[in-house]
């Protein structure tokens, strides 16, 4: 069982020391990945729009220089916020600078209020899914060092070159966020190395169904479902003990999940991250 954290909130004070402390604490705690939420405004409705938010890939580049082991990625990049070639170049650059620790975490995006406020492109859902699938196809082509013209329904590139190539072999790992059974999970089966689901308080019924849908999608295309790492996003509970954290993660494992990604209702502290590390060590024992 892998444990990770997502940075969704920031303190009111200096932010460079906060990122440094968070990244180094995650490194020392043995966590798998530090994820950055891809928002330009605070997306949590319990927070103010004036609360500080840092751009994801700039933050991940900073974290690459402050860490040595932990993996780095967005949870998850809204596919239409950046031109596809720019997004893939950012991930390849992060992979080079981190010596092979980058994820491509990607999804369709959802935050209409953020898009309206900042003039970000967030077209209708069918177009976003077309954009997502073609970006995934383009990633596989560019990172295979294939500069042939790419012409889809949405994306058109005459020479999709990405040099230097990523350090990761055969390429950076791809995580698709979301749990939609009609469109998202079929894309996971076809293109992704991992998916991220949501912690629904229904005794695991929803997770079991989503994993079964994913298994059937993989079966239909002849892919072993075991190749796909399944993760779940869940909140760290206030004052949750190490034993309680480990027990919750074991319960997720019993549902068939491989990776637990924790969110914090405020800004992460080294003490909170040490709790995750202690739970990870207990699970590995």
Is residue 47 very low, low, confident or very high in pLDDT (cuts 50, 70, 90)?
Answer: confident
Flag whether pLDDT at 48 surpasses 90. no
Q: How far is 267 from 254, CA to CA, in rounded Å?
A: 29
Q: How far is Cα of residue 42 from the mean position of the Cα atoms in its chain?
A: 17
Q: How far is 35 from 192, CA to CA, in rounded Å?
A: 17
Q: How far is 238 from 263, CA to CA, in rounded Å?
A: 12
pLDDT tens digits, residue range 93-107?
A: 999 999 999 999 999
pLDDT tens digits, residue range 187-197?
A: 999 999 999 99
% the chain with pLDDT above 70? 100
Flag whether pLDDT at 263 surpasses 80. yes
45: buried, middle or exposed (CB in 10 Å: 19+, 13-18, 0-12)?
exposed
Flag whether pLDDT at 41 surpasses 90. yes
pLDDT tens digits, residue range 116-155?
A: 999 999 999 999 999 999 999 999 999 999 999 999 999 9
Number of domains in the chain: 1
List, as one string, the DSSP characters of 42-71. Answer: ---TTS-TTS----HHHHHHHHHHH-SSSE
The 8-class DSSP code of residue 99 comes to: T
What does the pLDDT average to over 233-253? 97
Residue 92's domain comprises: 2-284
Contacts (Cβ under 8 Å, ≥6 apart) of 104: 73, 77, 88, 91, 139, 172, 173, 174, 175
Per-residue pLDDT, 198: 96
Is residue 58 very low, low, confident or very high in pLDDT (cuts 50, 70, 90)?
Answer: very high
Range 61-81 burial, b when 16+ CB lie within 10 A, else e: bbbbebbeebbbbbbbbbbbb
Q: How far is 254 from 211, CA to CA, in rounded Å?
A: 12
Contacts (Cβ under 8 Å, ≥6 apart) of 188: 176, 195, 214, 217, 228
pLDDT tens digits, residue range 158-212?
A: 999 999 999 999 999 999 999 999 999 999 999 999 999 999 999 999 999 999 9
What does the pLDDT average to over 249-271? 97
CATH code for the domain in which residue 272 is found: 3.20.20.30
pLDDT tens digits, residue range 269-283?
A: 999 999 999 999 999
| 271 three-state secondary structure | helix
Per-residue pLDDT, 123: 98
> Rounded mean pLDDT of the chain?
97
Flag whether pLDDT at 46 surpasses 80. no
Per-residue pLDDT, 44: 79
Q: How far is 268 from 233, CA to CA, in rounded Å?
A: 15
Residue 77: what are its φ and ψ, rounded to 5°? -70, 130
Q: Which residue intervals of 34-168 are DSSP H helices?
A: 56-66, 84-97, 112-118, 125-142
% the chain with pLDDT above 90? 95
Is residue 256 very low, low, confident or very high in pLDDT (cuts 50, 70, 90)?
Answer: very high
Per-residue pLDDT, 76: 98
**Is the Cα dihedral 45, 263, 215, 229 positive or negative?**
positive
pTM above 0.85, yes or no: yes
Per-residue pLDDT, 175: 99
């Amino acid at each position: 069982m892998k444990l990770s954290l997502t940075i969704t909130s920031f303190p009111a004070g200096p932010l460079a020391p906060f990122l440094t402390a968070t990244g180094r604490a995650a490194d020392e705690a043995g966590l798998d990945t530090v994820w950055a939420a891809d928002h330009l405004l605070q997306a949590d409705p319990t927070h103010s729009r004036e609360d500080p938010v840092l751009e994801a890939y700039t933050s991940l580049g900073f974290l690459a220089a402050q860490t040595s082991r932990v993996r780095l990625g967005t949870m998850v990049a809204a596919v239409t916020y950046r031109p596809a070639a720019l997004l893939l170049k950012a991930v390849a650059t992060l992979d080079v600078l981190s010596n092979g620790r980058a994820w491509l975490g990607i999804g369709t995006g959802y935050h209409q209020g953020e898009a309206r406020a900042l003039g970000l492109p967030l077209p209708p859902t069918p177009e976003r899914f077309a954009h997502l699938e073609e970006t995934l196809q383009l990633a596989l082509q560019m990172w295979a060092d294939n500069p042939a013209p790419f012409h889809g329904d949405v994306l058109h590139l005459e020479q999709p070159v990405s040099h230097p190539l990523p350090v990761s072999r055969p390429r950076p790992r791809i995580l698709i966020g979301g749990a939609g059974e009609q469109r998202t999970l079929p894309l996971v089966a076809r293109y992704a190395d991992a998916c991220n689901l949501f912690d629904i308080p229904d005794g695991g019924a929803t997770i079991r169904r989503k994993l079964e849908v994913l298994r059937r999608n993989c079966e239909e295309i002849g892919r072993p479902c075991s190749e796909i790492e399944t993760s779940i996003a869940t909140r760290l509970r206030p004052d949750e003990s190490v034993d309680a954290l480990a027990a919750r993660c074991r319960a997720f494992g019993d549902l068939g999940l491989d990776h637990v990604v924790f969110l914090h209702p405020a800004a992460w502290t080294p003490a909170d991250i040490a709790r995750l590390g202690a739970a990870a060590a207990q699970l590995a024992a």
